Chains A and B, each alone.
Chain A
Amino acid sequence: MTAETTSGSSPLGAWTARLAELAPAVRVTERPFLTQLTLRVRDAQAQAAIGPALGVELPSTPCSFTRGTGPHGELEVLWLGPDEYLVLARPGVQQSLEDAIRAALGDAAGAVVDVSAQRTTLALSGPRVRDVLAHGCAIDLHPSAAPTGTCVQTLLAQAGIVLLVSDAGRDEFTLLVRSSFASYLAAWLIDASVEYRMVPA
């Protein structure tokens, strides 16, 4: 018997319709079942070796992410700490991606952990997305302060999140939230969007 890795019940599967109602002011959609691997690597040489294996360099500056396409399709690599990264990839490539990273890592100190179900991923966009986020997020999301490529771990309302500025000019964000907090976050997003649903910009 082989195991299924690209289906099941996503944390916000039951919220799809309610989140869709926030459009057009804010568009919120879950991107379920993404491959998510935590990558730990300290050594600069090992860090450099992993880039080619992924097809995208590891982000070198704190609070940023890189994006590119490689053998496992389109990838985003998020800076989570000085030796900690989160690799986001399309559903179903957990094993092959982990194998590739471990091969590149070799004997260097490091770790790879499948955390695909630890967090769920939301795509946020729309003319009022910054307004909605500003109701609960203390980070300055003005394009001058948070350009495309920004990746911050912070709080939104009372939940920890990872927030990516996917495209500052097009008001596109990606948000990751721990699965157990996902329904709280969805309820909060809906509540925080109430005013903007009436008067879309």
Chain B
Amino acid sequence: MQLISCPWCGPREEVEFHYGGQAHVAYPDDPAALSDEDWARFVFFRDNPSGPFAERWSHAAGCRRWFNAIRDTRSHELLDVYRMDEAQPARTGTS
């Protein structure tokens, strides 16, 4: 049972969290202006790196806050967690 550090509540067991997919995929400013292809890219396409990956997590059974985490997809190790209003920590290989 892995521990995930909620930026607010501290380390908690992973069962308290829900996964939210890739982070930093912003909702387009003007979806209507996008081509079908560009819109489909936003809706359906996500990175799948081997290594550090910025993801969204929700502390669902705790404070209900969404936050970002950088997880190494090879080891599942969480390298960083940061709040939605914090900048993504610099890290090579991050998507």
Residues of A within 8 A of B (CB): 62-63, 80-82, 84, 138-139, 152-155, 160
Q: Give Cα A84–Cα B8 distance, bound, in whole angstroms.
A: 12
Q: Give Cα A138–Cα B12 distance, bound, in whole angstroms.
A: 8
Which residues of A have CB within 8 Å of B1?
138
How distant is A140 from chain B, measured CB to nearest CB, in Å? 10
Interface range on chain B (Cβ under 8 Å from partner): 10 to 19
In the complex, what residue of chain A is closest to B12 when comparing beta carbons? A154
| A interface, over-half SS | strand
| Among A63, A84, A155, contact of B15 (Cβ-Cβ < 8 Å) | A155
A138-B13, A155-B15, A155-B16 known; A82-B61 Cβ under 8 A: no
How distant is A62 from chain B, measured CB to nearest CB, in Å? 5
In the complex, what residue of chain B is closest to A83 when comparing beta carbons? B65
A153→B62 contact, CB < 8 A: yes
Q: Give Cα A154–Cα B61 distance, bound, in whole angstroms.
A: 6
Which residues of B have CB within 8 Å of A80?
63-64
How distant is A59 from chain B, measured CB to nearest CB, in Å? 12
Which residues of B have CB within 8 Å of A139?
12
